[in-house]
Structures are given as structure tokens and as C-alpha cells.
Amino acid sequence: MTTFFDELSSETANKDYFKKHYNNLFIISACKQLEKIPNTRFMSVEEPDYGYLLEVANIFAQSTNEKYHNIAQRIAQYVIEFIDNDYYKQVAYMVLELLVNKQSISLAQEKQRLPKNIYFTQPFKFTLENINRDMEYSFHVTEDDIVHCNKFQKEFWDGVEMLNNIISISAPTSAGKSYIVMKWLKYNLELNNNNEINVGIIVPTRALINQFEQDLKKEFEEYKLKVNIISMPFTKTSLTNKSKTIYVFTQERMNIFLSRNKNKYFKAVFVDEAHKVGDNERGVLLQNVVDEILRRENNTKIVFAGPFVKNPEDVYINAKKIKSTLQTVDRNYFHICRRAYGPKKWKIKLESNNTLLKVAKVDLINSIGISEAAYKILAKWAYIIGHNNSGNLIYANGGGQAEKIADCIYELEVSTYSNNQELDELIELCKVIVHPDFLLIKLLKKRIAFHYGSMPQIIRQKIEELFNKKILKYVICTSTLLEGVNLSCKNIFVREPQKGQNIPMSGADLFNLLGRAGRLGKEFCGNIYYIDWDVAPTEKTEQIVERTTHKIISTNFDAIVNSFKSDLPLDNPNKDNIEATVGYLFQEYLRSNDISQCSEIKTLCSNTQIQELNSVLADYSNKIQIPVGILENHPTTFHYSMQKLLDRFYEKYKENPDEIYSIIPDLSEEKMYDSLIPILKRMQ
């Protein structure tokens, strides 16, 4: 519904006077991030009319359009951070209050850019409006824990509590998803009573399990005698005598847990990185475990969340979408490019409305040649821009390159740390767990670290902790970061990023990575630096999610039917995904002996196709004598392969009962090797 402020905002935004002065402020605010680069000449920009822009920001903040909210926020935050005018600061504060951006207000007070008592110095009418707004955007999680939401967080809370049992959200990394989801799960645990309540968190990686475990332990410190936090599916919660349990699992662990605990059900479940439902076989398994959770209790509230998803409503059938583009921190996208006058001559361009504005020229002290290795160019610019600040994240295409970039920055960096106990402890940990000559030990002495998947987990976690505390100055990371590791930073540096060997990173993954630049309540803005990358994107890319089951059923229906009739199509490039989908459909069929009850089939297939599937599934089910418990433990497996293995056991047993032991491995320590070798040879 269009409001008065929407119409006024649209009219104002199209005025040349506004465009001119906001564009000037946009350029000046971004260039403030470049001031510490030596020998830099900035383009001449007329000082904006701050009074006028603040009036516009006041209008924009009251519209319903998030595009205008983002503009109002940049105006207000720039004035608070850089303009020494008490009246302007007071108006800018009022704009942030209208935007319900409490975290930026708190950050400004922490940095002494706003007085601590500013809430009580406003006009009486505005104070009353503030009180009403505070009430509207606040929720009681427990008797003592009150959540103050921003606009996205309130939309989430209202949606998940009133709209539907299944919600799928897409919002920028800095919108505050993790915080509000944590509070929502806490609310659902009903900590004021002793009723047994289970909530779940499903994540795609072990790294994210560890991240959530750490965050949950902090959140529930005062309730540790009442709340279990479980991350292994074999843990017996009955031994702890606690009534509330949070399960943090990957989909594989959740599947094991569900198969071992037939009577467990959940009040609420959060699925993080929910776009992984399109991630081949693992995506099928994720869909299967969510189906099972809802089968046990159809009132379970499920929240799917993913960044930069264009169609969040398609993540799961019947999901209601909440989609936001709200930026709670400002973000600047810089392109560092060569000029035509030699290896010391560079220029900096700034993205504005999907175009590039040249905002600065840089004359380097030391050359960066065109033939230098890519990792050296990236390392040198990360040092030039970031050596005066903490919070520098550099993306590397693999662990080897991460170490090279880190070592290159080490050679450039002159400052060292002194008297930091946590760094000393990490150095000693590296010596004990890895080796006294581990490269990381040397780097840590200059507050530099690398971070990649094959490193010991305990060391990675400590690096993340020290970086978030701003003890570490630079962290060079790989695609491990894309799996949800929660590193917030001031600056991100990228150059032709890859995800996998020689595989260019997708636009959606890139902007997922770049979303780490600037975090709510920690920075007013984040900066992204594309280094010497001619084809760096100037427009954000959203990923379109398609469930693996949806994709395979739509495009490989005949292959699915043939798999039930005989065997999997060995020459099909989608063989593994077909296998997972065939397993999924068989499990669905076994529940009612009617595949039309499967939502995916009901949505995608004609009546003729449903009849054909029911026919082949009936024949297929007669071939399978695998015990039901085993079938349930392996929901996305091609069960006919398991049946053939069972037939082989029967065959051997009939030939000679004693011979059965020749094909069953003996896992005792002294016989394991000799027992497994013949089996592995048969598998070749």
C-alpha cells in the first residue's frame, strides 16, 4: 500500500537538486575510507547541503521503501560520524530512530559521536513517538530479556509468529538474521516453565555447528542448568535432567537423530543456508529430514534462511517468503585499477547505481608490475589500504595461495604485537598441535593469519575469535568462509575469486562473501575492494534456488521410472542426484503406497505420470526386503543396490553357511586389514 511518504519520497528522489547533493555526499562518505592511502588525489566534490539532505532523510525514513531507508541511513550516519554540528547530529539521530537502527545509535555513542543521554533531550512530541516505536519494535523473549528489533527483524518476528508455520527469508548478511533467530528460538523454549521442549538448528557444515554452539552457550549462560545444547546425534539428553534442548546438526546428523529417536518432535526449527536444498544429494537429504520433522508434528514452525536468494518461497513447498534488501550498515564497492602511465600509477573507482565513478588517483611509492603474480598484487594492495586498520579480510583461491598472500603481507608489515596473552597462547597452541616451525607462528607475531578448511579446527576457531576482537589485523581466508563462518570485518579484498580449482566463484557466492564487510553494531560501513580485476561485477547477483528433487523430477522423469524398473542409468551425468531422488520417492511411497501424496510429485507430475510411478513403485517395493529401520536410516540411497548386497549374502549363505564370513568384514584389530582388502578389490 502506497503511503504519503512513499509518494513524497519518490517525487523528491527524482529532483535534480537532491540527486546532485546526495551524489556528492555519497562520494565524500566513500572517499573518507581512502584517506589513509598515501599519495592519493581525490576528485573535487562540492560540499553537500547537509541541512537539506537531513530533511530528505527524515522523509525517506518514514516511507515503506527499503531503497529510501538505505539512503536515509547513509546521510544520517555520515553526519553523525564526520560533521561537527550538534543540531545536524541531533536530526541525524532522529532519522536513525525513525529507521529503528538502535545498533548504529549505540555504536555512535560508544565512539562518542553522540551523547549518552540524547534519547532524553529530544522534543516532547518526538519522545512520545519514540516510546510508542520502542514498544512496537520490542518483544519479550523471557521476563528479563527484551528484544529491540530493527524493521527487518520485526517483519521476521511478526511473520514467523502470525503468517505461517513455514517461513523462508532472504536478507543481507548485516540485517541481523542470526541475532533475531537466536532470540526467536529462545522464546520458543518457554524458559519460564519446566515443560519438555525441543528446538533445532540445521546447518550445512561442522564449522557452522561449532559457530552456533559457541553463540548458544553465551546466549544461554544463565540457563545452563535448564537447557541442553546438543551437537552429536548419539548424546543421551535423559542423563542431564534438563527439560529444554537445542539440537544443532547437519542434515546428516539430524537424519541419524530422527532415525534413533522415533518419538522426538520439535516445536521450532531453523534451517541456515537454506539454499543448500538445491545442493545435489545433500539437498535431497535436507528436504527429507524437514519432511520427517513436519510429519511428526505438523505445527512445528520451520524457518529457512539464506542470503541473496531471488525466490525464497521456492526453497520449500508452501513456504511464505520474507525478503528484505535493508542495509543496516553502509557498504562501499571500490575498483582498484591501473592507469596507463606505468606500474606506480593507479586509480580508484566507486560503484554508484551500477556505474563506476573515478574518485581518486594514486601514485605508489613502490611499483606493482603488470606481470607480478596475482597473489602479490592482492597482498600489496591489502597492505597499502589496510595497514592502518584492523579488520582486513583477504580472499585467496586455496590454502596454498592463502599462505603466500600472508607471507607477502608479513614482509611488508613493519608493526608487531606486544604483550598480548591471547596471541601468545595461540602461538603455543600451534607449536603443540602442528609443528614448532608452522608458518602461522611467524605470521601471528605481526597480527596476520591464514584460515582454510584443512587446518585444525581449534586453531581456526581461535583465529576467528581474535579477528572478531580486532587483535588480528589481517586474515587471509578461502571458500571455508562461504559456509557461514561468522567473521565480521571492515575491509574485504578480492581478485578473480574462485570456489574450487579453476572454477570462478558465482555471483551469488561472491556477494554472500562480501556481506561480511561491515557488521551491525560494530561498523558504520564496510568496504569491498576489487583489486586489478577488469571484469569485477557492478551489479549484485541473486541466486535462484531450485530444489534438487524438483530439478531431477522435472528433467529426468524417464530415468527415474527406468531406475525403478531395472537399475540406475550409468551413463547419466545426474546419476548421483537421480539415485538420491529415487531413494527419496521410494520413502515417500512407502508411507501410504501412493506417490500422489508426495507434495513434489503432486506439484510436478500429470495424472498419467503419477499412475506410471505408482505402478513401477509397487513392483519395486516387492523387490526390496531390506528391514524398514535400515531403509529409514538411508532415505536417499538407491535401495535396490542394498538389496543386491543382501541377495549376495543370502546366496553365499546357501552355498555354505560358514562362507558367509568371507564377505562380512572382521573388524577386530588383528584381522581388519586382511578382511577389508578383498572387499575393496571387489568394489573397484
**So where are the chain's domains?**
4-99+101-131, 139-323, 330-531, 548-683
| Chain segment 330-360, per-residue pLDDT in tens | 999 999 999 988 999 999 999 998 899 999 9
Model pLDDT, residue 655: 85
Model pLDDT, residue 647: 87
Q: Would the CA dihedral through 477, 481, 486, 489 be positive or negative? A: positive
Radius of gyration of the chain (CA): 28
| Chain segment 417-440, per-residue pLDDT in tens | 888 999 999 999 999 999 999 999
Helices (H), 14-150: 16-31, 50-60, 66-82, 86-98, 102-110, 124-136
Alpha-carbon gap, residue 678 to 540, rounded angstroms: 53
Model pLDDT, residue 682: 67
Alpha-carbon gap, residue 25 to 32, rounded angstroms: 11
Alpha-carbon gap, residue 255 to 24, rounded angstroms: 55
Of the CATH numbers 3.50.50.60, 3.40.50.300, 3.40.50.720, 3.40.30.10, which one belongs to the domain with range 330-531? Answer: 3.40.50.300
C-alpha separations of 92 from 82, 125, 325, 596, 677 in Å: 12, 17, 22, 58, 72
Above 90 in pLDDT, residue 443? yes
Model pLDDT, residue 394: 97
What's the average model confidence in pLDDT over 165-193?
90
What's the average model confidence in pLDDT over 655-679?
78
Beta partners for 229?
246
Model pLDDT, residue 119: 85
Above 80 in pLDDT, residue 681? no
Q: Say which range, 43-47, 319-323, 645-649, has the weakest mean pLDDT.
A: 645-649
Above 70 in pLDDT, residue 684? no
Above 90 in pLDDT, residue 85? yes
| pLDDT tier, 645 (very low <50, low <70, confident <90, very high otherwise) | confident
Task: Write the DSSP assignment of 262-324 as a string of letters.
Answer: TT---SEEEESSGGGGGSHHHHHHHHHHHHHHHHH-TT-EEEEEETTBS-GGGSSTTPEEEE-
Model pLDDT, residue 570: 67
Angle between helical axes of 607-623 and 557-565 (0-180°, round to 10): 30
Model pLDDT, residue 659: 72
- Return the amino acid letter for 60: F
Above 80 in pLDDT, residue 679? no
3 state SS of 531: strand
Above 90 in pLDDT, residue 308? no
Above 60 in pLDDT, residue 484? no
Residue 595 φ then ψ, to 5°: -70, -15
Alpha-carbon gap, residue 411 to 398, rounded angstroms: 20
| pLDDT tier, 612 (very low <50, low <70, confident <90, very high otherwise) | very high
| Other Cβ atoms within 10 Å of 530 Cβ, number | 24
Model pLDDT, residue 572: 84
Residue 359 φ then ψ, to 5°: -115, -15
Beta partners for 167?
303, 320
Q: Would the CA dihedral through 651, 655, 661, 665 be positive or negative? A: negative
In CATH terms, are 139-323 and 330-531 the same topology? yes
Task: Write the DSSP assignment of 556-605 as a string of letters.
Answer: -HHHHHHHHHS---TT-TTHHHHHHHHHHHHHHHHHHT-GGGSHHHHHH-
What's the average model confidence in pLDDT over 172-189?
89
Q: Give the CA count within 13 Å in the CB-facing half-sphere of 29.
A: 30
| Chain segment 218-251, per-residue pLDDT in tens | 999 999 999 999 999 987 766 678 999 999 999 9
Alpha-carbon gap, residue 492 to 394, rounded angstroms: 6
| pLDDT tier, 522 (very low <50, low <70, confident <90, very high otherwise) | confident
CA 405 to chain CA centroid, Å, is 25
Alpha-carbon gap, residue 21 to 31, rounded angstroms: 15
Q: Are 406 and 473 in contact (CB under 8 A)?
A: no
Model pLDDT, residue 21: 98
What is the average pLDDT value for the chain, to the nearest integer? Answer: 91
| pLDDT tier, 463 (very low <50, low <70, confident <90, very high otherwise) | very high
Q: Are 635 and 587 in contact (CB under 8 A)?
A: yes
Beta partners for 362?
40, 346
Alpha-carbon gap, residue 13 to 8, rounded angstroms: 9
Alpha-carbon gap, residue 250 to 233, rounded angstroms: 10
Q: Say which range, 3-17, 88-102, 652-666, has the weakest mean pLDDT.
A: 652-666
Beta partners for 320?
167
Q: What angle do CA 151, 157, 163 make, to 5 degrees?
A: 115
| Chain segment 131-160, per-residue pLDDT in tens | 999 999 999 999 889 998 999 999 999 988
Closest CA to 79 of 8, 28, 5, 36: 28
What's the average model confidence in pLDDT over 285-295?
96
| Chain segment 539-582, per-residue pLDDT in tens | 888 889 999 999 999 999 999 999 998 877 667 888 899 999 99
| pLDDT tier, 173 (very low <50, low <70, confident <90, very high otherwise) | confident
| pLDDT tier, 683 (very low <50, low <70, confident <90, very high otherwise) | low
Alpha-carbon gap, residue 661 to 657, rounded angstroms: 8
Q: Which three cell numbers stand for residue 385?
A: 589500504
| pLDDT tier, 652 (very low <50, low <70, confident <90, very high otherwise) | confident
Burial bucket for residue 286 (CB in 10 Å: 0-12, 13-18, 19+): buried
Q: Which long-range contacts (CB under 8 A, 24 or more apart) does 11-20 make?
A: 12/56, 12/59, 12/60, 13/60, 13/68, 13/71, 17/52, 18/52, 18/53, 18/56
Above 80 in pLDDT, residue 483? no
| Other Cβ atoms within 10 Å of 232 Cβ, number | 12
Helices (H), 341-420: 374-386, 399-412
Q: Which three cell numbers stand for residue 518?
A: 561491515
Above 90 in pLDDT, residue 60? yes
Of all residues in the chain, what percent carry a pLDDT higher than 70?
A: 97
Q: Which three cell numbers stand for residue 600?
A: 513434489
Q: Are 15 and 53 in contact (CB under 8 A)?
A: no
Task: Write the DSSP assignment of 201-223 as a string of letters.
Answer: EE-SSHHHHHHHHHHHHHHTGGG
Domain 139-323 = CATH 3.40.50.300 = yes
Model pLDDT, residue 122: 83
Model pLDDT, residue 613: 96
Alpha-carbon gap, residue 232 to 247, rounded angstroms: 8
